Amino acid sequence: MKEKEHVLLIGKGTYLVQVGYGKLNTEFGIFDLSELLKKDYGDKIKTHFGEEFVAVKPSLLDILLKQAKRLPQIVTTKDASLILAYTGISPDSLIVDAGAGSGFLSIFLAYYCEQGKVVTYEKKSNFAKVVRENIELTGLKNITVKEKDITKGIDEKNVDLITLDMENAESVVENSYKVLKPGGWLVVYSPYIEQVIAVRKELDKFNFTLIKTVENITREWRTSYHTLPEVSGVMHTGWLTFARKVF
C-alpha cells in the first residue's frame, strides 16, 4: 500500500487510517502505521498487545462517516438511499442539488451516478469550501460545487433529478419544474412538517405526478440476552417529498 492511502482496519473495532509512519493509539493497543507500507488489502496487522486487525479498502461511507467534516445537518444514508430507490434514476443522470451543506447528499448521489454529473449549489462560501474538501477526500470527479443562491435560477437544463435540502425549498419548485426533463424527479427533504405542507401546496400548481411524502423510519433491535427493539436512537430525521414531472 502507498503512503497516505486511506485504509480501514477491521477487528474488534474499526479505524480509518492513512498509510504512513505515525502510530495510532487505540483501546486494543498501538498500531505502527508504517507496517502498512509493506502490506496489501486483506493482510493482517497486529497492535502491540497482539490484537489482530485486517486492512481493507474503505467504502465511501467509511470515509464520509469517519473523516468528512460536518457543518449543518446532513441527509443521512437511510434517507439518501431512499432517493435512489424511489426515483430509480440511472447511473448516467444529471443531478442538481441544493444546498450543498456538508456535501453528504451530493457525494452519495455522485458515487452511485458515477457516469453522470452532480451540480450542487451552496450560497455560503465557507460551506462550499468544506464541501470541496469533503469531495477531495472521496476522490470523486463528477461533482461541481456552485457558489450560488439557487433561488436566483438554475443554470442546468434537461435535469434528471433535483434534490432540495434547504429552507424555503418551495420557492425553488417552479424553477425546478422548468429545468427538469419530462419524467425527471424533484425530491425535497424537509425536517419540519410545515415545510412539507408548503412544498406540497407549490407542487400542486405544476404538472407533476406520483407526488408522495414519506418518512423512512429505521429501528435497530438488540439481540443479546433478550430480543427487543432499541428504545433510543435517532427517532426523526426528516420527510422526503417525491414528485415526477410530466411535461
Ligand X SMILES: C[S@@+](CC[C@H](N)C(=O)[O-])C[C@H]1O[C@@H](n2cnc3c(N)ncnc32)[C@H](O)[C@@H]1O
Q: Would you tell me which residues interact with ligand X (CB under 6 A)?
A: 72-75, 98-99, 101-105, 121-124, 127, 149-151, 165-167
DSSP classification of residue 38: G
- d(CA 179, CA 156) in angstroms, rounded, equals 7
Cβ 142 to ligand X shortest distance, Å: 17
Sign of CA dihedral 68, 74, 79, 84: negative
Radius of gyration of the chain (CA): 21
Cβ 54 to ligand X shortest distance, Å: 30
* Residues contacting 140, CB < 8 A, separation 6+: 107, 110, 111, 114
Cβ 175 to ligand X shortest distance, Å: 11
By C-beta, is 93 or 190 nearer to ligand X?
Answer: 190
Residue nearest ligand X (C-beta atom): 99
Grid cell in block for residue 237: 430525521
Cβ 78 to ligand X shortest distance, Å: 12
Cβ 224 to ligand X shortest distance, Å: 33
By C-beta, is 102 or 176 nearer to ligand X?
Answer: 102
Q: Based on the number of CB atoms within 10 Å of its own CB, is 17 exposed (0-12), middle (13-18) or buried (19 or more)?
A: buried
By C-beta, is 98 or 159 nearer to ligand X?
Answer: 98
By C-beta, is 7 or 100 nearer to ligand X?
Answer: 100
Grid cell in block for residue 191: 425536517
By C-beta, is 103 or 184 nearer to ligand X?
Answer: 103
Cβ 4 to ligand X shortest distance, Å: 25
Cβ 189 to ligand X shortest distance, Å: 7
Instruction: Tell me phi and psi for residue 9, to 5 degrees.
Output: -95, 120
Q: Where are the alpha helices (DSSP H) in the chain?
A: 60-66, 77-87, 104-112, 125-138, 173-179, 193-203
Q: Based on the number of CB atoms within 10 Å of its own CB, is 184 exposed (0-12), middle (13-18) or buried (19 or more)?
A: buried
By C-beta, is 15 or 112 nearer to ligand X?
Answer: 112
By C-beta, is 151 or 216 nearer to ligand X?
Answer: 151
